[in-house]
Chain A
């Protein structure tokens, strides 16, 4: 197949892009965090609600703007995260994201794919006082 063209745009990704799940805001989230991918101009904001123990994610909503890969990835991640242990979120890496998307992401587009994951992870770290940043940008990490 091609080196990252419409193979990357399987039905599932297009579906999540066109009909994003959990799109919007949450009234009183445990934490909110925003991140961007300056190269593409992708932007994602995530609202996360933790359960009482603060060990498990109850609910996630996101809002954003950008390319199909970044937005579909955020939509799919928002579903995946509901019910997940915070610990497991922190352990996620780019392979988990490609598995979730179910397609090979061309190297140039990996930053788009992992933006939502970084935003969720940084948001949690900031909330638990392990990190001190305002915004996440995907330029920082590789």
Chain B
């Protein structure tokens, strides 16, 4: 086929930063196509982590000694770097480091939702929501008496925007939507949804877990009130997630976790809260992970987020075309030729997704099979599980070809 490089990214060069991609299983080099679950970590980020522990490790904020000061400055600056990455002009005050997207969702659900929602309120979600937001708001609704409503997903895998306009009303207190669906690959019109939400005095929470890693995201352009994403899906380490929130909202919100670091003054009777963002970072925070995430932002910006987006789109479109040609593959989400994130979920008619994933593993092709934490969406699609290939900056068209060949092996085996 000869497409050894994308026209956009110097993939060969990028791959040198990811030694894990050289691993072989039974003589087969790994083809890592499970990036929507977790991306691999480039050398500069691994080095940052190692360097931090070799040279700078100390607790932050409360130390007056040199190491603590250095660690504090690096950790605090990491917030500014992440703010810049997503266009948050409020800098560190609008960036809270959490464990992952899920914790960021829970933070807002507990700190805001539990206190503000009541039986007259509605939370509007989408049918393609990840369990991280769906389950969280469902439970908060149960506790507060609020109602969850779901924007319909059309046959073509896009949101029914007429339905969105119908169910987002003056009763809506929060609209929580996934930016790029981790199952369908759909890119949702989040700024349009933000406008609709704001017209009804509702807030909007954007789940950016599958968008921030692979396309330019500007929270102020979207006009998101909150945005969440995870470091481990964007070339960063596990154990760090981000919650962006508009400063005035974060100021009004009560803390979610209590303890050290998040307080200003404590007596036996009461306590007052620290400034943003520390008010929401109780206890010793994710210091090394935060610093490493800032490095991952540098790494991705050096490549260029627009180019990353186009590279992923190319791979996804190429995979769609290859799979569509086969005739016995059901593909979920927007059809080839329409805008999409860098992932493709599908089912082979004759082979269960779990069998397929196990068989692909024999060719060292790593994909995911399951419900991808979107069970209600899978119920709607009428399948218990699907296979999903998802791409990142180091994937190539050859790897998509290997995927297609390995799928063919499975087809033969089950024929």
A interface residues with partner B (beta carbon < 8 Å): 1-9, 14, 17-18, 39-41, 66-69, 106, 109, 112
Contacts and interface: CB of A to CB of B under 8 A. Distances in A.
A34 to B, nearest CB: 15
Given A9-B359, A14-B413, A40-B385, A3 B25 contact: yes
Interface in B341-387: 351-352, 354-355, 358-363, 370-371, 383-385
Contacts of B370: 39
A109 B413 contact: no
Contacts of B354: 40, 67, 69, 109, 112
Contact of A67 (B352, B360, B413): B352
A6 B189 CA distance: 42
Given A40-B385, A41-B384, A41-B385, A5 B352 contact: no
B414 interface: yes
Contacts of B385: 39-41
A20 B370 CA distance: 24
B166 interface: no
B26 interface: yes
Given A1-B26, A41-B385, A6 B359 contact: yes
Nearest to A40: B354
B384 A5 contact: no
Q: Which size bracket describes the interface of B in this complex?
A: 20 to 34
B413 A9 contact: yes
Contact of A2 (B361, B383, B409, B413): B361
The listed residue with most A CB atoms (<10 A of its CB), out of B25, B352, B355, B360, is: B355
A8 to B, nearest CB: 6
A9 B361 contact: no
A112 B413 CA distance: 19
Given A41-B383, A67-B352, A68-B352, A4 B358 contact: yes
The listed residue with most A CB atoms (<10 A of its CB), out of B358, B371, B414, is: B358
Contact of A6 (B25, B352, B384, B413): B413
A16 B352 CA distance: 15
A1 to B, nearest CB: 7
Contacts of B384: 40-41
B133 to A, nearest CB: 21
13 contacts: A2-B362, A6-B358, A6-B362, A9-B358, A14-B413, A14-B414, A18-B414, A39-B370, A39-B385, A41-B385, A67-B354, A67-B355, A112-B354
A8 B354 CA distance: 12
Contacts of A14: 413-414
Contacts of A17: 414
A106 to B, nearest CB: 7
A6 B409 CA distance: 10
